[in-house]
Amino acid sequence: MVDMELTAAATAFLNEEAALLDDHLLDGWLGLLCNDVRYVMPSTAIMPAEAADARERRNALRWGSFGDDDRDMHFWLYDEDYSSLNMRVRRLDTGMAHAELPESMTNHVVSNVIAGQDPLDSELIRVRSKFMVHVVRHENNENTFVGSRWDKLRRTDDGLRLAWRYIELAHPVLPRTISIFF
Amino acid sequence: MQRMADYISVDDGLVDCEVYSAAVYERELESVFGRSWLFLGHEGQLVRRGDYVTTWMGETPVIVLRSMDDVVRAYLNTCATRQVTLLPYDAGHAEVIVCPAHRLGHDTTGSPVSGQAVEPGHECLVPVARVETYGKLIFGCLSDDSPTLRESLGDATWYLDNYLLRENIGGLQLVPGVQRYTMPGNWKLLAENFAGDDYHVAITHASVLAVRAQGIEPRLNNSPGKGVGANLSVATGFQTGVPHGFLEVRIGEEFFEHDLMRAQSIGPEAAEWVRTRRDAVDQNLPDLAVKPYSFHVANLFPTLSIIGNGTSMEAVGLLVWHPRGPHQTSVTQLCLVDAGAPPALQRQMVWALTHQQSAAGVFAPDDHENFERLAENTRTFEARRVPFNYEMGLSGEGVDVRPPEWQDPRWPGLVLPRFTEMIQRDFYRYWRSLMDR
């Protein structure tokens, strides 16, 4: 499913997005999201190897094949739509959000990008990527978040926009609480 | 080592930073974590026989399981011969537990089933001394001779029965997904923050209150606002037993009306559930003239904290503070919803907890910042000369603030003003007694 041209376009999009996040230009970042965006991050657990059907279901979840089904109720780390992401940005804007005062120094490094046409929707492309986000707070509180993303980017008149993001962190125990975006 | 009485002056509300030191830490792993009832999990994690989860008691790894004879049991998650970790997963299903080093195997009741024969009493699998459940909450104790779980919970059971567990209307249901995250700071600071520090909320979390006031995200709108009803704190076990603290104990029809209004926007079934939940309290406590609507936050000594419980619009978060050295804590957080609530309301509950008091919520990272800023500083020589100050409300020590018409012996606990440090003083009083025992 790898498409070189789409991979180049997706890489450019993800790099632009990472620059906005690292520069704390969060309204600009919101501008890269579709109004109907879904942005989710499950909690990670160390579990025995999954049976084939469970593995298949997890893969389907990663590409967004779930909605309000009761089976999918989960204690998410992120379970966002545009309204809730906007709320998070507005909170940081109050000037009273201690967790980001001073703003964390972040470096989003994005790699291993694989993109291809979405098989179900001609407007969407599917993009897998890896990331490392290095976070520094104060003098010497440094942590690195590592993980994978399953994104769907929508072709619009204004260019590519994020319609779906599923984030899996590679941290059974998170190194710190989270006040940044991935 | 000196006695902790030299470091903690409860009468003055002063706590020396020494109690957060490495030397004290080594001793409290034994004196506090070796003797207290510690939260191990929820029975919803152990549905089938053979289901298990792994967790810790202090720094000690343990296995909690439902054995093949349908009993909730707990074992050290290390073999007795070489301290090898037995089960490397967070959760799973096992009918036999086999040590990966020497292949000594045990069934779920602890009997050896394979490997080299050992003398009786030399089994590889070591049971936790005592395991008990209270309303599907599983607790373990590593000591044989400390008080029972019921004795340790004391009057806290009244608040748990009527305002948390609600078993008469179906009880709590575990939501899949366990959050685990690292917080800076000594475990005591996190536990007593939930037990007794409602004062920090409006300051540390001012940004959340501000964004709620903007009204841009109605799902976040948790409480009816200022100047409504009564919002109090409660201490149980005060000066006599194990200290548990309950915060934002809400009294007044407005809290119910606000929940009802929000539920109506979800649908008639959700509104009906809000009524059911309120009526269940009335049925349990028919003769109390004045009674709380809910409590929102609590800590059960030493390390089980509760949050999100004050409103029907939010799930319950159970947080366990696992010590990881004197200046770091590992958090395990579960999410539970009312089993009987309609799915649309359950989803709102989970959404509200996820977005507020959870690892990536809008509250916890601000607390993280406070603890990150203070953890290292308690190590300095100068810090030892400036004890932590817990003197708020000292002049009202031990005084119940209920007006005469609220007084009723069937409503236990010491009812306190919302803002006081009395619960924290009692936390350190009891901790000191365990350490100096």
Confidence of residue B245 (pLDDT cuts 50, 70, 90): very high
Rounded CA separation B10/B391 (Å): 9
**CB proximity under 8 Å: B 260-289 to A:** none
**Is a pLDDT exceeding 90 seen at residue A57?**
no
Confidence of residue A71 (pLDDT cuts 50, 70, 90): low
State how far the alpha carbon of B287 is from the alpha carbons of B275, B403, B410, in Å: 19, 17, 9
- Which of the two residues, B121 and B266, has the higher pLDDT score? B266
Q: Lay out the sheet containing B230-236: strands in order across.
A: B172-184, B328-338, B316-323, B304-307, B297-300, B244-251, B230-236, B414-416
Confidence of residue B17 (pLDDT cuts 50, 70, 90): very high
**Is there a contact between B354 and A79 if contact means CB atoms under 8 Å apart?**
yes
SS3 label, residue B141: strand
**Is there a contact between B207 and A92 if contact means CB atoms under 8 Å apart?**
yes
Burial class of B213 by CB neighbour count within 10 A (0 to 12, 13 to 18, 19+): exposed
Confidence of residue A127 (pLDDT cuts 50, 70, 90): very high
SS3 label, residue B422: helix
- Which of the two residues, B242 and A46, has the higher pLDDT score? B242
Q: Are B42 and B30 in contact (CB under 8 A)?
A: no
**Is there a contact between B372 and A137 if contact means CB atoms under 8 Å apart?**
yes
A150 is written with which tokens?
A: 């399953």
Q: Interface pTM (ipTM) of the complex? A: 0.95
b/e per residue, B233-270, with b = 16+ CB within 10 A?
bbbbbbeebbbbbbbbbbbbebbbebbbebbeebeeeb
Which residue has tokens 């100096």? B436
Q: What is the pLDDT of residues A97-126, one digit of tens each?
A: 999 999 999 999 999 999 999 999 999 999
Residue A55: predicted pLDDT:
85
Which residue has tokens 């510690």? B38
CA max distance for chain B: 69
In the 3-class helix/strand/coil scheme, how is B12-38 assigned residue by residue?
A: CCEECHHHHCHHHHHHHHHHCCCCCCE
Q: What is the DSSP string of B33-57?
A: TTTS-EEEEEGGG--STTEEEEEEE
**Is there a contact between A77 and B360 if contact means CB atoms under 8 Å apart?**
yes
Residues of A in contact with B207 (CB under 8 A): 91-92, 94-98
Q: Beta strand A159-169 with A33-41: parallel, antiparallel or unpaired? A: parallel
**Is a pLDDT exceeding 90 seen at residue B310?**
yes
Rounded CA separation B232/B420 (Å): 10
- By C-alpha distance, the chain B residue nearest A70 is B343
Backbone angles phi, psi at A73, to 5 degrees: -65, 130
State how far the alpha carbon of A104 is from the alpha carbons of A24, A137, B152, B335, B358, in Å: 9, 5, 42, 28, 19
Question: What single letter denotes the amino acid at residue B204?
Answer: T
**Shortest CA gap B403–chain A (Å):** 37
Confidence of residue A1 (pLDDT cuts 50, 70, 90): low
Among A96, A99, A175, the residue with its CB nearest the CB of B182 is A175
The residue-averaged pLDDT of B361-372 equals 95
Confidence of residue A68 (pLDDT cuts 50, 70, 90): low
pLDDT above 70 coverage of chain B, percent: 97
**Is there a contact between A91 and B90 if contact means CB atoms under 8 Å apart?**
no
SS3 label, residue B371: helix
HSE, CB side, 13 Å, CA atoms: give it for residue B4.
Answer: 23
**Is there a contact between A172 and B330 if contact means CB atoms under 8 Å apart?**
no
Residues of A in contact with B88 (CB under 8 A): 46
**Is there a contact between B177 and A99 if contact means CB atoms under 8 Å apart?**
no
Substitution target in B56, B179, B330, B333 with the highest count of A β-carbons within 10 Å is B179
Q: Are B305 and B298 in contact (CB under 8 A)?
A: yes
Residue B372 contacts A, CB cutoff 8 Å: yes
- By C-alpha distance, the chain A residue nearest B331 is A173
- By C-alpha distance, the chain A residue nearest B52 is A47
Q: What is the DSSP string of A138-150?
A: TTTEEEEEEEEEE
Residue A100: predicted pLDDT:
96
Q: Which domains does chain B have, with CATH numbers?
A: 38-141 (2.102.10.10), 170-435 (3.90.380.10)
Residue B95 contacts A, CB cutoff 8 Å: no
Instruction: Mark out the alpha helices in B221-312 (DSSP H runs).
Output: 253-266, 268-284
Q: Provide the number of CB pairs (under 8 Å) joining chain A to chain B.
A: 141
Rounded CA separation A154/A160 (Å): 5
Residues of A in contact with B347 (CB under 8 A): 68, 73
SS3 label, residue B321: strand
Find residue A36's DSSP bridge partners.
Answer: none
The residue-averaged pLDDT of B316-336 equals 97
Q: What is the pLDDT of residues B210-221, one digit of tens each?
A: 999 998 998 987
Q: Beta strand B105-107 with B51-57: parallel, antiparallel or unpaired? A: unpaired
Q: Lay out the sheet containing B388-389: strands in order across.
A: B8-9, B14-15, B388-389
SS3 label, residue A155: strand
**Is a pLDDT exceeding 80 seen at residue B141?**
yes
| Rounded-to-5 percentages of helix, strand, coil across chain A | 30, 35, 35
Q: Are B196 and A63 in contact (CB under 8 A)?
A: no
Q: What is the pLDDT of residues A130-176, one digit of tens each?
A: 999 999 998 889 999 999 999 999 999 999 999 999 999 999 999 99
Q: Lay out the sheet containing B91-93: strands in order across.
A: B72-76, B60-66, B51-57, B91-93
Q: What is the CATH number of domain A4-43+73-169?
A: 3.10.450.50
Rounded CA separation B295/B198 (Å): 12
Residues of B in contact with A102 (CB under 8 A): none
**Is there a contact between B179 and A98 if contact means CB atoms under 8 Å apart?**
no
Substitution target in A57, A75, A85, A133 with the highest count of B β-carbons within 10 Å is A75
Q: Comparing C-alpha atoms, which of B87, B24, B28 is closest to residue B55?
A: B87
HSE, CB side, 13 Å, CA atoms: give it for residue B10.
Answer: 18
